[in-house]
A and B are shown apart, each in its own frame.
Chain A
């Protein structure tokens, strides 16, 4: 199946491991991701905070390009997914907004008719490929591995496109399909704090600590995420959290696609599993190929 693919800025930088693992598994699952030609930043949270109308406009530009290219637009980053989707919904809901955006798009010969469907990568795996099909690709069942399914916030909110806004289950079922065990994780859709870890460090670290603590107390061997910002926060700031809260966390934070690749019997190198700060091998080494 062919999709138009919106990588997002993070996947060209800190989230490179996410991109590498996506490339490694998508072919095996029969998915074809064609990059959106000349995509620009979705705007994310910061642009919305400076000039909201421009943020909607640059986001709409991506939608116009995607409509031209055809197929569903797939975003692996939760922030991109939410912003693109929100823009898409608002353009339909608020005619006055659309009027202004249309004027700006028209200026460069673009037009958006509202025909694009925005999908999160996780949604594509669980609903288009499906659990049954995924199960047939599993070569190394991750028996005995306890995984915390961490969805984060923007993948399920504000629009609930494919899963529940507060108690989603799609990632839990996906982990189960890989032969691993999803732990009880009541704060699975709680916010990681986003950029608060740099703008209001004390609060940001506390929010990260709460998530790590909940995972640890429920016996998680590792945490999987669906968002670049969650991965950075939980992984890179783990040491700082340990220092501030006198903890001993050493919980690997993986992208869910890396865990999928591992179960599909793909060599570790092709999944960029070593490109994390918290060591992964002590926990997942027994499944390596």
Chain B
């Protein structure tokens, strides 16, 4: 009888931790509501070139989203292992825009700082956005330096011979390539930011 009680309590605890309206948060992206149509066939997981290295496969992840396992989903490395190749999207028999749903989940994880510290992809993405916001264009040289500086500074030293080679091939420019009308771009970014806050 005691064992049964323990299990019941655990189940209640688990159900308490669920976020039933998590699914609706995904609806905010264009086409996001199609996640409801998922039939758990697993075509996405079978197609994914990186699926075998994911904490949960895409099919599992979608079941978790629908079950409301918010924390587990946003903390998992699955969303950050998706490399946006869209193979699952063209194969999905329910026309779910899987890659976009991954983007929506990534954005949520970033917004709430839910991603685990050992995952490096958010660092790269954040730095990318930083340089684009600053100059209007991505700066591959600066991005590489800032990313390795923040993740593995020793590795950066190891990359020096290669970087030197690329530099002498004019493939790692020192000076930033900028847009002329940066204000225009910044105004657009700020306006959207405001609209999103109001929502």
Binding site for B on A (CB under 8 A): 9-10, 12-17, 38-41, 43-54, 57-58, 61, 82, 90, 93-94, 96-97, 100-101, 103-105, 107-108, 110, 153-154, 157-158, 160, 165-166, 190-191, 193-196, 198-200, 202-203, 207, 236, 274-275, 277
Contact = CB atoms under 8 A, between A and B. Distances in A.
Contact of A196 (B83, B129, B193): B83
Nearest to B195: A100
A107 B87 contact: no
Contacts of B147: 198
A40 B124 contact: no
A172 to B, nearest CB: 19
A200 B120 contact: yes
Nearest to B130: A50
A74 B127 CA distance: 27
A199 B129 contact: no
Contacts of A49: 103, 106-107, 110, 121-122, 125
A5 B99 CA distance: 27
A108 B185 CA distance: 9
B64 interface: no
A190 B83 CA distance: 11
A50 B107 contact: yes
Contact of B140 (A14, A39, A199): A14
Residue of A193, A199, A203, A275 most packed against chain B (CB within 10 A) = A199
Contacts of A96: 30
Nearest to B170: A16
Contacts, number: 193
B90 interface: yes
Interface of B: 29-31, 49-50, 53, 80-81, 83-87, 89-90, 97, 99-100, 103-104, 106-107, 110, 119-126, 128-129, 132, 136-141, 147, 162, 165-166, 169-173, 177, 179-181, 184-185, 187-189, 191-193, 195-196
B84 A45 contact: yes
Contacts of B169: 16-17, 274-275
Main SS class of interface, A = helix
B80 A199 contact: yes
A157 B87 contact: yes
A46 B110 CA distance: 12
Contacts of B177: 9, 12-13
A44 B90 contact: no
Contacts of B180: 38
B195 A104 contact: yes
Nearest to B196: A53
A277 B165 contact: yes
Given A50-B110, A52-B107, A165 B90 contact: yes
B137 to A, nearest CB: 5
Given A12-B173, A13-B173, A194-B83, A50 B129 contact: yes
10 contacts: A41-B132, A41-B137, A49-B107, A50-B129, A61-B184, A105-B188, A107-B188, A157-B85, A193-B49, A236-B162
Nearest to A190: B49
A195 B132 contact: no
Residue of B84, B89, B125 most packed against chain A (CB within 10 A) = B84
A153 B99 CA distance: 13
Contact of B126 (A50, A61, A166): A50
Contacts of A104: 187-188, 191-192, 195
B170 A107 contact: no
B124 A46 contact: yes
A179 to B, nearest CB: 28
A57 B189 contact: yes
A61 B188 contact: yes
Contact of A48 (B103, B124, B138): B103
A289 B167 CA distance: 26
Nearest to A79: B84
Contacts of B106: 48-50
